Amino acid sequence: MNTVNCLECDAEIILQSDVEQNEIIVCPDCGVDLEVINLDPITINLAPMEEEDWGE
């Protein structure tokens, strides 16, 4: 069982056994999108997300 820690909030995330390179996974705690950029070793990066801005 592969796990990674969220880059935003440090929550432990359990990866599916069939996770693929460039797959986007979602942190169950903070909801941030994370991209799996490498499978061996498992490496993730923050993926771009839509920002909210109601001030315009």
Q: Using CB under 8 A as the criterion, which residues of the chain lie in contact with another protein when the complex forms?
A: 8-11, 26-27, 29-33, 49-50, 52
Minimal distance, residue 3 CB to another protein, in Å: 16
Minimal distance, residue 39 CB to another protein, in Å: 24
Minimal distance, residue 36 CB to another protein, in Å: 17
Q: Which is nearer to another protein, 37 or 49 (CB)?
A: 49
Q: What is the DSSP letter of 8?
A: T
3's tokens: 């796990």
3-state secondary structure of 13: strand
Residues 6+ away with beta carbon under 8 Å from 27: 6, 8, 9, 11, 13, 34
